[in-house]
Structure 1
């Protein structure tokens, strides 16, 4: 049951975001550069991260969550020129991705950066402080460039949970997002909630159904991220969420 404390946009977006828990659709921070870009009629989004941003296991590039997000934004804002540029590769660490996003912004400015990170640090057992230092540097660079940022934590995985101590990295991402006042897209908690509710669970999908399940997961992630972005935009506008 929804409580009065849940933002209206998050509550209304719940069904559209594959029955995501409403509190996971809240931005918790404004996205002013994104709002300015939308008002001006052109929005460029830069997505940086590991293999997950490329949509591995999907039916094709159009099914990856960045492509699905671009399609959702274009459908909601038909007059808006929107471009989603994706830069990533398997095993990309936080320091490497920070350097990559700085280089990409120098080459072609973006108003919104979606930074998926933390998995490589957890898998390799890197020092949490090392990840935090790279995050701080990258977010400061984004602020100096005038771009909004959204941090995205790792994908939920029972295998990863069993074989790596993920919690310190998830906690660090929450703390860094709060310190810099940027939204955190809590992908780990979302995917765990969907798996537990049997909305979508790629790890336990039968092999013949795995591609369809991966497509469904990417679509659900795009819907939830779109809802979070709308919440952050509404917060930047200083008015009740639609």
Structure 2
């Protein structure tokens, strides 16, 4: 699927997987905590962990999640600093942009926080994947979400890190009637949210596999 082209390799993850141990840190706003799901195990970070272990049962995998409702890129950059000071990571999955778009915050502030955070991750020897805003018809109608998406694309390109285009992936699912949370009946919302999180985890896992394969292909 073209939308899951990572656009950059993840050599740190390739080395960690080869060594048999992978430490992943997930940071973001409320969506990393699995709101609306049937429970914590149904959130996409937990589902991603299960998918990785199912594919590589011998891998020693540690996945930590830090997030908060309304957290901006500046807030999550602070979470990164705290978590890296406590324990290193091989890969950081950094979700951002939705809160900024919804509040109409300055794009430049988000970009500055992302540059600083990604520089810190590089210095710490950690790989990173940026995750852009989630798709929402309401958000699209009431915010200039494209400005934040484009800024994230440019930051990812500048730092040579993969970008998971969550907005486009979710829009594709909604427009093809695959998963459309906004139009799901109220009594089906939890089940649809669980399915959405599972599909997001599968998509991120595919992107990670592609980025690791790119890294291995580039290794002499």
TM-score by length of 1: 0.89
Equivalent in the alignment of 1:140: 119
Q: Do structure 1's residue 84 and structure 2's residue 30 form an aligned pair?
A: no
Q: Do structure 1's residue 185 and structure 2's residue 164 form an aligned pair?
A: yes
Q: Using the alignment, how far apart are the partners of 1:94 and 1:199 within structure 2?
A: 30
* Gap runs ≥5 in structure 1: 1-21
Q: CA deviation at 1:76?
A: 0.2
Partner of 2:3, secondary structure, is helix
* RMSD of Structure 2 on Structure 1 (CA): 0.8
Number of residue pairs matched by the alignment: 218
Q: Do structure 1's residue 224 and structure 2's residue 203 form an aligned pair?
A: yes
Partner of 1:238, secondary structure, is helix
Q: CA deviation at 1:116?
A: 0.1
Q: Using the alignment, how far apart are the partners of 1:200 and 1:142 within structure 2?
A: 34
Contact 1:50 1:90 in 2 (8 A): yes
1:134-168, Cα deviation, whole Å (9 max, x unpaired): 11000000000000000000110111111111110
Q: Do structure 1's residue 65 and structure 2's residue 48 form an aligned pair?
A: no
Contact 1:42 1:81 in 2 (8 A): yes
1:8-35, Cα deviation, whole Å (9 max, x unpaired): xxxxxxxxxxxxxx11111111101111
Runs of 4 or more above 2 Å deviation: none
Q: Using the alignment, how far apart are the partners of 1:37 and 1:25 within structure 2?
A: 22
Q: Do structure 1's residue 31 and structure 2's residue 35 form an aligned pair?
A: no
Residues 37-116 of structure 1: matches in 2 within 5 Å? 37-116=16-95
1:121-146, Cα deviation, whole Å (9 max, x unpaired): 11111111111111100000000000
* Gap runs ≥5 in structure 2: none
Equivalent in the alignment of 1:150: 129
Q: Using the alignment, how far apart are the partners of 1:237 and 1:69 within structure 2?
A: 21
